[in-house]
Homo-oligomer: A and B are copies of this chain.
Amino acid sequence: MTLRRLFPLALLVAAWPVFAAGSGVVGENLLWLALIILAARLFAPLAQRVGFPAVLGELLLGVVLGNLGLIDFHYFDAIARDPIIMFMAELGVIILLLQIGLETRLGDLVSVGARASMVGAVGIVVPFMLGAFVAGPLLLKGLDFNAYLFLGATLAATSVGITGRVFRDLGKLKMPEAQIVLGAAVIDDVLGLVILAVVSSLVQAGTVSLVDVLLIIAKAVLFLGGSIAIGRAMAPHLLRQASRLDSSHSMLFSLVLVAGLFMAWLAHKMGLAPIIGAFAAGLLFEPVFLKEFETPKLVQDIEPLLAGDPLHKQEEVRAVLRRHTRHQHEQMIEPIGYFFVPVFFVLTGMQVDLTALADPKVVMIALGITVAAVVGKLVAGFAAGKGKNPWLVGWGMVPRGEVGLIFAMVGKNLGVMSEAMFSVIVIMVILTTLLTPPILTVLLRRQKS
Protein backbone atom coordinates (compact mmCIF):
# COMPACT_ATOMS: atom_id res chain seq x y z
CA MET A 1 0.00 0.00 0.00
CA THR A 2 1.78 3.10 -1.08
CA LEU A 3 1.54 6.83 -1.16
CA ARG A 4 0.84 7.10 -4.83
CA ARG A 5 -2.44 5.31 -4.33
CA LEU A 6 -3.54 7.97 -1.88
CA PHE A 7 -5.89 9.73 -4.26
CA PRO A 8 -6.50 7.22 -7.06
CA LEU A 9 -7.34 4.56 -4.49
CA ALA A 10 -10.09 6.63 -3.00
CA LEU A 11 -11.72 6.70 -6.38
CA LEU A 12 -10.91 3.14 -7.23
CA VAL A 13 -12.54 1.63 -4.19
CA ALA A 14 -15.79 2.66 -5.80
CA ALA A 15 -14.97 0.15 -8.50
CA TRP A 16 -13.31 -2.67 -6.61
CA PRO A 17 -12.55 -5.01 -9.51
CA VAL A 18 -10.64 -2.24 -11.27
CA PHE A 19 -8.67 -1.53 -8.11
CA ALA A 20 -7.83 -5.18 -7.67
CA ALA A 21 -6.52 -5.28 -11.22
CA GLY A 22 -4.14 -2.38 -10.51
CA SER A 23 -4.57 1.28 -11.18
CA GLY A 24 -3.16 1.72 -14.66
CA VAL A 25 -0.84 4.36 -15.92
CA VAL A 26 1.50 5.06 -13.00
CA GLY A 27 1.93 1.34 -12.43
CA GLU A 28 2.63 0.89 -16.11
CA ASN A 29 5.44 3.42 -15.83
CA LEU A 30 7.27 1.00 -13.54
CA LEU A 31 7.22 -1.60 -16.30
CA TRP A 32 8.27 0.90 -18.95
CA LEU A 33 11.20 2.08 -16.90
CA ALA A 34 12.21 -1.54 -16.27
CA LEU A 35 12.00 -2.34 -19.99
CA ILE A 36 13.93 0.75 -21.07
CA ILE A 37 16.73 0.20 -18.54
CA LEU A 38 16.95 -3.53 -19.28
CA ALA A 39 16.86 -3.20 -23.06
CA ALA A 40 19.40 -0.35 -23.03
CA ARG A 41 21.67 -2.39 -20.73
CA LEU A 42 21.52 -5.47 -22.94
CA PHE A 43 21.95 -3.44 -26.15
CA ALA A 44 24.98 -1.57 -24.83
CA PRO A 45 27.43 -4.53 -24.77
CA LEU A 46 26.17 -5.64 -28.18
CA ALA A 47 26.82 -2.17 -29.63
CA GLN A 48 30.22 -2.10 -27.94
CA ARG A 49 31.11 -5.51 -29.33
CA VAL A 50 30.68 -4.09 -32.85
CA GLY A 51 32.77 -1.15 -31.68
CA PHE A 52 30.08 1.50 -31.34
CA PRO A 53 29.20 3.59 -28.32
CA ALA A 54 26.33 2.40 -26.16
CA VAL A 55 24.29 5.48 -26.98
CA LEU A 56 23.77 4.25 -30.55
CA GLY A 57 22.12 1.12 -29.17
CA GLU A 58 19.81 3.22 -27.03
CA LEU A 59 18.87 5.53 -29.90
CA LEU A 60 18.16 2.62 -32.26
CA LEU A 61 16.16 0.86 -29.56
CA GLY A 62 14.10 4.03 -29.26
CA VAL A 63 13.59 4.21 -33.02
CA VAL A 64 12.35 0.61 -33.00
CA LEU A 65 10.04 1.08 -30.00
CA GLY A 66 8.72 4.34 -31.40
CA ASN A 67 7.83 2.80 -34.74
CA LEU A 68 6.27 -0.49 -33.68
CA GLY A 69 3.00 1.21 -34.59
CA LEU A 70 3.97 0.45 -38.19
CA ILE A 71 3.37 -3.24 -37.50
CA ASP A 72 0.24 -2.34 -35.53
CA PHE A 73 1.79 -2.83 -32.09
CA HIS A 74 0.80 0.22 -30.08
CA TYR A 75 1.79 -0.74 -26.53
CA PHE A 76 4.74 1.67 -26.46
CA ASP A 77 3.01 4.63 -28.08
CA ALA A 78 2.01 6.11 -24.72
CA ILE A 79 5.57 6.15 -23.29
CA ALA A 80 6.87 9.02 -25.36
CA ARG A 81 3.93 11.20 -24.36
CA ASP A 82 3.82 10.26 -20.67
CA PRO A 83 4.72 13.32 -18.57
CA ILE A 84 6.38 11.22 -15.86
CA ILE A 85 8.58 9.33 -18.33
CA MET A 86 9.33 12.64 -20.06
CA PHE A 87 10.45 14.10 -16.74
CA MET A 88 12.64 11.03 -16.18
CA ALA A 89 14.19 11.62 -19.60
CA GLU A 90 14.76 15.27 -18.71
CA LEU A 91 16.44 14.17 -15.48
CA GLY A 92 18.49 11.74 -17.57
CA VAL A 93 20.03 14.41 -19.76
CA ILE A 94 20.50 16.69 -16.74
CA ILE A 95 22.38 13.89 -14.93
CA LEU A 96 24.42 13.21 -18.07
CA LEU A 97 25.53 16.82 -18.39
CA LEU A 98 26.23 16.95 -14.67
CA GLN A 99 28.48 13.89 -15.09
CA ILE A 100 30.19 15.48 -18.08
CA GLY A 101 30.66 18.67 -16.05
CA LEU A 102 32.16 16.69 -13.14
CA GLU A 103 34.62 15.04 -15.53
CA THR A 104 35.57 18.39 -17.07
CA ARG A 105 38.10 20.69 -15.44
CA LEU A 106 37.11 24.36 -15.77
CA GLY A 107 40.77 25.17 -16.47
CA ASP A 108 40.81 22.87 -19.50
CA LEU A 109 37.63 24.45 -20.77
CA VAL A 110 38.96 27.99 -20.32
CA SER A 111 42.16 27.09 -22.11
CA VAL A 112 40.16 26.08 -25.18
CA GLY A 113 37.65 28.89 -24.62
CA ALA A 114 38.63 31.12 -27.53
CA ARG A 115 38.74 28.20 -29.94
CA ALA A 116 35.46 26.80 -28.66
CA SER A 117 33.77 30.18 -29.15
CA MET A 118 35.05 30.32 -32.70
CA VAL A 119 33.87 26.81 -33.44
CA GLY A 120 30.52 27.54 -31.80
CA ALA A 121 29.97 30.76 -33.73
CA VAL A 122 31.01 29.32 -37.09
CA GLY A 123 28.93 26.22 -36.35
CA ILE A 124 25.86 28.38 -35.91
CA VAL A 125 26.39 30.93 -38.67
CA VAL A 126 27.48 28.64 -41.54
CA PRO A 127 24.70 26.03 -41.20
CA PHE A 128 22.13 28.81 -40.73
CA MET A 129 23.29 30.57 -43.89
CA LEU A 130 23.49 27.30 -45.82
CA GLY A 131 19.99 26.35 -44.72
CA ALA A 132 18.26 29.71 -45.11
CA PHE A 133 19.93 30.99 -48.26
CA VAL A 134 21.30 28.01 -50.18
CA ALA A 135 19.91 24.56 -49.47
CA GLY A 136 16.42 25.77 -48.57
CA PRO A 137 15.66 27.90 -51.67
CA LEU A 138 17.49 25.38 -53.87
CA LEU A 139 15.91 22.13 -52.67
CA LEU A 140 12.53 23.28 -51.36
CA LYS A 141 11.43 25.70 -54.04
CA GLY A 142 8.62 28.23 -53.75
CA LEU A 143 8.29 28.36 -49.98
CA ASP A 144 7.89 31.42 -47.81
CA PHE A 145 11.13 33.12 -46.76
CA ASN A 146 10.17 32.50 -43.12
CA ALA A 147 10.23 28.77 -43.81
CA TYR A 148 13.82 29.02 -45.04
CA LEU A 149 14.74 31.02 -41.96
CA PHE A 150 13.32 28.23 -39.79
CA LEU A 151 15.18 25.59 -41.76
CA GLY A 152 18.37 27.56 -41.19
CA ALA A 153 17.67 27.76 -37.46
CA THR A 154 17.12 23.99 -37.32
CA LEU A 155 20.39 23.33 -39.12
CA ALA A 156 22.17 25.61 -36.64
CA ALA A 157 21.12 23.50 -33.64
CA THR A 158 23.59 21.23 -31.82
CA SER A 159 22.75 18.38 -29.47
CA VAL A 160 25.43 18.46 -26.79
CA GLY A 161 23.81 15.41 -25.16
CA ILE A 162 24.50 13.02 -28.04
CA THR A 163 28.04 14.22 -28.67
CA GLY A 164 29.01 14.41 -25.02
CA ARG A 165 27.68 10.91 -24.52
CA VAL A 166 29.68 9.52 -27.48
CA PHE A 167 32.95 11.01 -26.23
CA ARG A 168 32.11 9.75 -22.74
CA ASP A 169 31.19 6.23 -23.88
CA LEU A 170 34.52 6.02 -25.67
CA GLY A 171 36.43 7.48 -22.71
CA LYS A 172 37.64 10.51 -24.69
CA LEU A 173 36.05 13.38 -22.77
CA LYS A 174 39.45 14.75 -21.70
CA MET A 175 40.96 15.11 -25.16
CA PRO A 176 41.25 18.72 -26.43
CA GLU A 177 38.87 18.10 -29.34
CA ALA A 178 36.18 16.90 -26.94
CA GLN A 179 36.70 19.96 -24.73
CA ILE A 180 36.36 22.27 -27.72
CA VAL A 181 33.17 20.54 -28.84
CA LEU A 182 31.74 20.72 -25.31
CA GLY A 183 32.51 24.42 -24.99
CA ALA A 184 31.19 25.15 -28.48
CA ALA A 185 28.05 23.12 -27.83
CA VAL A 186 27.30 25.08 -24.66
CA ILE A 187 27.73 28.33 -26.59
CA ASP A 188 25.55 26.97 -29.38
CA ASP A 189 22.83 26.05 -26.95
CA VAL A 190 22.64 29.72 -26.00
CA LEU A 191 22.98 31.00 -29.57
CA GLY A 192 20.42 28.45 -30.74
CA LEU A 193 17.99 29.92 -28.25
CA VAL A 194 18.72 33.38 -29.61
CA ILE A 195 18.17 32.26 -33.19
CA LEU A 196 14.95 30.51 -32.29
CA ALA A 197 13.74 33.65 -30.54
CA VAL A 198 14.66 35.87 -33.45
CA VAL A 199 13.15 33.61 -36.08
CA SER A 200 9.97 33.01 -34.08
CA SER A 201 9.59 36.70 -33.52
CA LEU A 202 10.13 37.44 -37.22
CA VAL A 203 7.53 34.88 -38.19
CA GLN A 204 4.96 36.09 -35.70
CA ALA A 205 5.45 39.86 -35.47
CA GLY A 206 7.42 40.48 -38.65
CA THR A 207 10.05 42.28 -36.58
CA VAL A 208 12.63 41.49 -33.97
CA SER A 209 13.10 43.44 -30.79
CA LEU A 210 16.81 44.00 -30.33
CA VAL A 211 16.16 44.49 -26.62
CA ASP A 212 14.69 40.99 -26.34
CA VAL A 213 17.64 39.45 -28.15
CA LEU A 214 20.16 41.31 -26.03
CA LEU A 215 18.19 40.31 -22.95
CA ILE A 216 18.52 36.62 -23.78
CA ILE A 217 22.23 36.98 -24.42
CA ALA A 218 22.72 39.06 -21.27
CA LYS A 219 20.87 36.51 -19.16
CA ALA A 220 22.93 33.67 -20.58
CA VAL A 221 26.24 35.45 -19.99
CA LEU A 222 25.09 36.53 -16.56
CA PHE A 223 24.02 33.01 -15.64
CA LEU A 224 27.06 31.17 -16.94
CA GLY A 225 29.62 33.74 -15.78
CA GLY A 226 27.84 34.54 -12.55
CA SER A 227 26.97 31.04 -11.45
CA ILE A 228 30.44 29.68 -12.14
CA ALA A 229 32.21 32.63 -10.52
CA ILE A 230 29.96 32.74 -7.47
CA GLY A 231 29.66 28.97 -7.32
CA ARG A 232 33.40 28.38 -7.35
CA ALA A 233 33.97 31.12 -4.81
CA MET A 234 31.39 29.61 -2.47
CA ALA A 235 31.90 25.90 -3.14
CA PRO A 236 35.00 25.37 -0.97
CA HIS A 237 33.34 27.05 2.04
CA LEU A 238 29.98 25.36 1.63
CA LEU A 239 31.63 21.98 1.14
CA ARG A 240 33.77 22.48 4.25
CA GLN A 241 30.68 23.41 6.28
CA ALA A 242 28.77 20.41 4.98
CA SER A 243 31.69 18.07 5.65
CA ARG A 244 31.73 19.24 9.28
CA LEU A 245 28.12 18.13 9.62
CA ASP A 246 28.67 14.83 7.82
CA SER A 247 31.82 14.02 5.90
CA SER A 248 30.56 10.76 4.41
CA HIS A 249 30.64 10.05 0.74
CA SER A 250 26.87 9.93 0.67
CA MET A 251 26.76 13.56 1.80
CA LEU A 252 29.04 14.58 -1.04
CA PHE A 253 26.94 12.55 -3.44
CA SER A 254 23.79 14.36 -2.35
CA LEU A 255 25.48 17.75 -2.59
CA VAL A 256 26.61 17.06 -6.16
CA LEU A 257 23.12 15.95 -7.09
CA VAL A 258 21.47 18.92 -5.39
CA ALA A 259 23.85 21.35 -7.09
CA GLY A 260 23.00 19.78 -10.45
CA LEU A 261 19.25 19.94 -9.92
CA PHE A 262 19.39 23.45 -8.48
CA MET A 263 21.50 24.92 -11.26
CA ALA A 264 19.40 23.14 -13.88
CA TRP A 265 16.39 24.86 -12.36
CA LEU A 266 18.18 28.19 -12.22
CA ALA A 267 19.20 27.95 -15.88
CA HIS A 268 15.61 27.10 -16.74
CA LYS A 269 14.40 30.13 -14.78
CA MET A 270 16.81 32.30 -16.75
CA GLY A 271 15.27 31.00 -19.96
CA LEU A 272 18.22 28.72 -20.73
CA ALA A 273 18.26 24.97 -21.18
CA PRO A 274 18.40 23.13 -17.83
CA ILE A 275 21.29 20.97 -19.11
CA ILE A 276 23.50 24.06 -19.36
CA GLY A 277 22.93 24.63 -15.65
CA ALA A 278 23.68 21.00 -14.85
CA PHE A 279 26.94 21.20 -16.80
CA ALA A 280 27.93 24.39 -14.97
CA ALA A 281 27.14 22.68 -11.65
CA GLY A 282 29.50 19.84 -12.53
CA LEU A 283 32.29 22.37 -13.08
CA LEU A 284 31.97 23.60 -9.49
CA PHE A 285 33.33 20.42 -7.94
CA GLU A 286 37.10 20.49 -8.26
CA PRO A 287 38.85 17.53 -6.62
CA VAL A 288 40.78 19.94 -4.40
CA PHE A 289 37.54 21.18 -2.79
CA LEU A 290 36.64 17.68 -1.70
CA LYS A 291 39.56 16.73 0.50
CA GLU A 292 37.46 17.18 3.63
CA PHE A 293 35.22 14.31 2.64
CA GLU A 294 36.20 11.01 4.09
CA THR A 295 37.83 8.34 2.05
CA PRO A 296 35.64 5.30 1.52
CA LYS A 297 35.36 2.76 4.32
CA LEU A 298 37.50 0.27 2.39
CA VAL A 299 40.51 2.58 2.36
CA GLN A 300 40.04 3.34 6.06
CA ASP A 301 40.04 -0.38 6.83
CA ILE A 302 43.09 -1.22 4.74
CA GLU A 303 45.26 1.75 5.69
CA PRO A 304 46.12 0.57 9.26
CA LEU A 305 47.06 -2.87 7.91
CA LEU A 306 49.49 -1.25 5.50
CA ALA A 307 50.94 1.14 8.03
CA GLY A 308 52.06 -1.58 10.40
CA ASP A 309 53.66 -3.69 7.73
CA PRO A 310 57.11 -3.64 6.16
CA LEU A 311 55.58 -4.17 2.74
CA HIS A 312 57.78 -3.06 -0.09
CA LYS A 313 54.80 -2.60 -2.41
CA GLN A 314 53.05 -0.57 0.26
CA GLU A 315 53.35 2.64 -1.71
CA GLU A 316 52.02 1.02 -4.85
CA VAL A 317 48.98 -0.24 -2.98
CA ARG A 318 48.49 3.25 -1.59
CA ALA A 319 48.78 4.71 -5.07
CA VAL A 320 46.05 2.41 -6.31
CA LEU A 321 43.82 3.42 -3.42
CA ARG A 322 44.55 7.08 -4.05
CA ARG A 323 43.80 6.80 -7.72
CA HIS A 324 40.47 5.16 -7.06
CA THR A 325 39.40 7.64 -4.41
CA ARG A 326 40.50 10.68 -6.37
CA HIS A 327 38.35 9.75 -9.32
CA GLN A 328 35.48 8.69 -7.19
CA HIS A 329 33.64 11.99 -7.13
CA GLU A 330 33.62 11.98 -10.92
CA GLN A 331 31.97 8.60 -10.99
CA MET A 332 29.83 8.96 -7.93
CA ILE A 333 26.61 9.84 -9.68
CA GLU A 334 27.16 7.10 -12.25
CA PRO A 335 24.47 4.82 -10.73
CA ILE A 336 21.85 7.54 -11.07
CA GLY A 337 23.02 7.85 -14.64
CA TYR A 338 22.45 4.15 -15.34
CA PHE A 339 18.89 4.69 -14.22
CA PHE A 340 17.94 7.88 -16.04
CA VAL A 341 20.27 8.48 -18.97
CA PRO A 342 18.99 5.59 -21.13
CA VAL A 343 15.46 6.92 -20.66
CA PHE A 344 16.50 10.14 -22.37
CA PHE A 345 18.17 8.48 -25.35
CA VAL A 346 15.50 5.85 -25.85
CA LEU A 347 12.87 8.60 -25.75
CA THR A 348 14.88 10.71 -28.20
CA GLY A 349 14.95 7.72 -30.53
CA MET A 350 11.21 7.30 -30.09
CA GLN A 351 10.57 10.83 -31.36
CA VAL A 352 11.81 9.71 -34.76
CA ASP A 353 8.98 8.94 -37.15
CA LEU A 354 10.12 6.47 -39.77
CA THR A 355 7.06 7.06 -41.95
CA ALA A 356 8.91 10.19 -43.07
CA LEU A 357 11.10 7.80 -45.09
CA ALA A 358 8.14 6.52 -47.13
CA ASP A 359 8.25 9.20 -49.88
CA PRO A 360 11.37 8.84 -52.11
CA LYS A 361 11.18 12.47 -53.24
CA VAL A 362 11.15 13.68 -49.64
CA VAL A 363 14.09 11.38 -48.88
CA MET A 364 16.10 12.81 -51.78
CA ILE A 365 15.50 16.38 -50.62
CA ALA A 366 16.30 15.33 -47.07
CA LEU A 367 19.62 13.87 -48.19
CA GLY A 368 20.47 17.24 -49.75
CA ILE A 369 19.54 19.11 -46.58
CA THR A 370 21.53 16.59 -44.54
CA VAL A 371 24.60 17.28 -46.66
CA ALA A 372 24.17 20.99 -45.92
CA ALA A 373 23.71 20.20 -42.23
CA VAL A 374 26.89 18.13 -42.12
CA VAL A 375 28.99 20.46 -44.26
CA GLY A 376 27.97 23.48 -42.19
CA LYS A 377 29.23 21.90 -38.99
CA LEU A 378 32.34 20.37 -40.57
CA VAL A 379 33.38 23.87 -41.65
CA ALA A 380 33.15 24.84 -37.98
CA GLY A 381 35.60 22.04 -37.17
CA PHE A 382 38.29 23.86 -39.12
CA ALA A 383 37.93 26.81 -36.76
CA ALA A 384 39.40 24.61 -34.01
CA GLY A 385 42.89 25.70 -34.95
CA LYS A 386 46.19 23.99 -35.58
CA GLY A 387 47.03 20.68 -33.97
CA LYS A 388 43.40 19.72 -33.48
CA ASN A 389 41.70 17.16 -35.63
CA PRO A 390 39.12 19.31 -37.51
CA TRP A 391 37.05 16.28 -38.53
CA LEU A 392 36.62 15.14 -34.94
CA VAL A 393 35.50 18.61 -33.85
CA GLY A 394 33.28 19.05 -36.90
CA TRP A 395 31.54 15.70 -36.61
CA GLY A 396 31.22 16.31 -32.88
CA MET A 397 28.93 19.23 -33.71
CA VAL A 398 26.87 17.38 -36.33
CA PRO A 399 24.14 15.58 -34.33
CA ARG A 400 20.96 17.66 -34.10
CA GLY A 401 19.20 15.12 -31.86
CA GLU A 402 16.28 16.30 -29.78
CA VAL A 403 17.20 19.97 -30.30
CA GLY A 404 16.62 19.78 -34.02
CA LEU A 405 13.29 18.06 -33.43
CA ILE A 406 12.23 20.78 -31.00
CA PHE A 407 13.08 23.52 -33.51
CA ALA A 408 11.11 21.74 -36.23
CA MET A 409 8.20 21.27 -33.82
CA VAL A 410 8.14 24.99 -33.04
CA GLY A 411 8.15 25.81 -36.74
CA LYS A 412 5.34 23.37 -37.41
CA ASN A 413 3.27 24.85 -34.60
CA LEU A 414 3.83 28.36 -35.87
CA GLY A 415 2.42 27.22 -39.22
CA VAL A 416 5.58 28.22 -41.05
CA MET A 417 6.75 24.67 -41.73
CA SER A 418 4.78 22.34 -44.02
CA GLU A 419 4.30 18.62 -43.35
CA ALA A 420 6.76 17.80 -46.12
CA MET A 421 9.39 20.16 -44.76
CA PHE A 422 8.87 18.74 -41.29
CA SER A 423 9.49 15.24 -42.66
CA VAL A 424 12.64 16.45 -44.39
CA ILE A 425 13.94 17.84 -41.11
CA VAL A 426 13.05 14.66 -39.22
CA ILE A 427 15.09 12.62 -41.73
CA MET A 428 17.99 15.08 -41.42
CA VAL A 429 17.83 14.72 -37.63
CA ILE A 430 17.75 10.90 -37.90
CA LEU A 431 20.77 10.85 -40.19
CA THR A 432 22.91 13.39 -38.32
CA THR A 433 22.06 11.77 -34.98
CA LEU A 434 22.53 8.13 -35.96
CA LEU A 435 25.54 8.57 -38.28
CA THR A 436 27.60 10.61 -35.86
CA PRO A 437 28.29 7.99 -33.16
CA PRO A 438 29.77 5.42 -35.59
CA ILE A 439 31.68 8.07 -37.55
CA LEU A 440 33.18 9.57 -34.39
CA THR A 441 34.14 6.05 -33.28
CA VAL A 442 35.99 5.43 -36.53
CA LEU A 443 37.70 8.86 -36.42
CA LEU A 444 38.81 8.31 -32.83
CA ARG A 445 40.19 4.88 -33.66
CA ARG A 446 42.11 6.23 -36.64
CA GLN A 447 43.41 9.12 -34.47
CA LYS A 448 44.90 6.59 -32.05
CA SER A 449 46.71 4.49 -34.62
Contact = CB atoms under 8 A, between A and B. Distances in A.
A406 interface: yes
Interface stretch (A15-23, A169-177, A440-448): A15-23
A333 B412 CA distance: 42
Interface stretch (A119-127, A130-138, A335-343, A429-437): A335-343
B271 A298 contact: no
Residue with the greatest number of chain B CB neighbours at <10 A, chosen from A192, A306, A410: A410
Contacts of A26: 83, 87, 90
Interface string A178-191: 00000000000100
Interface stretch (A254-262, A382-390, A391-399): A254-262
A45 B201 CA distance: 51
A240 to B, nearest CB: 14
A200 B16 contact: yes
A354 interface: no
A94 interface: yes
A340 to B, nearest CB: 9
Q: Copy number of this protein in the oligomer? A: 2
Interface string A76-110: 00000001101101100110000000000000000
Interface residues of A, number: 113
A406 B6 contact: yes
A373 interface: no
Contacts of A232: none
Nearest to A342: B254
Given A4-B89, A212-B16, A253 B30 contact: no
Interface string A202-220: 0010000000100110010
A431 to B, nearest CB: 19
A1 B265 contact: no
A38 B258 contact: yes
Nearest to A84: B87
A45 B87 contact: no
A41 B339 contact: no
A41 to B, nearest CB: 4
A316 B304 CA distance: 11
A124 B348 CA distance: 48
A3 interface: yes
A6 B246 CA distance: 40
A13 interface: yes
Nearest to A31: B265
B305 A316 contact: yes
A114 interface: no
A275 B215 contact: no
A414 interface: yes
Contacts of A112: none
B258 A20 contact: no
A6 B409 contact: yes
A181 B10 CA distance: 28
Contacts of A14: 204, 413-414
A274 to B, nearest CB: 6
- Find the residue from A11, A34, A324, A332 having the highest chain B CB count within 10 A: A34
A374 interface: no
Contacts of A27: 265, 268-269, 274
Contacts of A30: 94, 261-262, 264-265, 268, 274
A230 interface: no
A87 B29 contact: yes
Nearest to A203: B13
A419 interface: no
A351 interface: yes
A298 B319 CA distance: 11
A255 to B, nearest CB: 7
Contacts of A412: 10
A84 B10 CA distance: 19
A10 B417 CA distance: 13
19 contacts: A3-B348, A4-B89, A6-B406, A16-B212, A20-B219, A21-B271, A27-B269, A29-B87, A34-B258, A34-B261, A38-B258, A41-B255, A42-B242, A45-B245, A298-B324, A306-B313, A306-B317, A311-B311, A311-B313
